[in-house]
Structure 1
């Protein structure tokens, strides 16, 4: 597994954060052994979920299905980088002009 995929939940766009209690188990059920969930980074403006995967784009497509079912896909940004790397490649939203960064 060579890539770290980061799912960024923007707090101001979320109605509530109740889904966070179950999202890891739902993602694990959908993704199985294709990813290693690494946990969260929480700040006042955003919540970042980290996972390691060998193939980030197909992994995100499967994650997006879960996020759509939970009704939170519109409050999300996502990008990946090589594990240990600094440069991100955005995968969501599709036409993002914002540079993906971590706090």
Structure 2
């Protein structure tokens, strides 16, 4: 899998972290073998979910359905990069003016 997709959850837009318990299993079902979940990076301002995939845009579309169902789609941003690369290509929100960076 050539790409790393990162979904960023801004903590100020979340009611809590309870959704994380079911997020991985629901994403696993929605994505099947098209993506491999790599884990989380948690900081005081954000939670980043990492996954490897061949088609980051399609993987995000499938993931977004899960995020909507869990009620955490507001305050989410997502971008991908070549595995091991430094430059991110944003996929959400669609006309993002903010540069996607990791802490």
Do they fold alike, i.e. is TM over 0.5? yes
5+ long unaligned stretches in structure 2? none
Q: Report deviation, 1:92.
A: 0.5
**CA RMSD, Structure 1 to Structure 2 (Å):** 0.5
CA distance in 2, matches of 1:68, 1:86: 29
Name the structure 1 match of 2:54: 54
Q: Secondary structure, in 3 states, of the residue corresponding to 2:74?
A: helix
Name the structure 1 match of 2:32: 32
5+ long unaligned stretches in structure 1? none
Q: Secondary structure, in 3 states, of the residue corresponding to 2:80?
A: strand
CA distance in 2, matches of 1:46, 1:58: 23
Q: Secondary structure, in 3 states, of the residue corresponding to 1:74?
A: coil
Question: Aligned pairs, how many?
Answer: 103
CA distance in 1, matches of 2:96, 2:71: 20
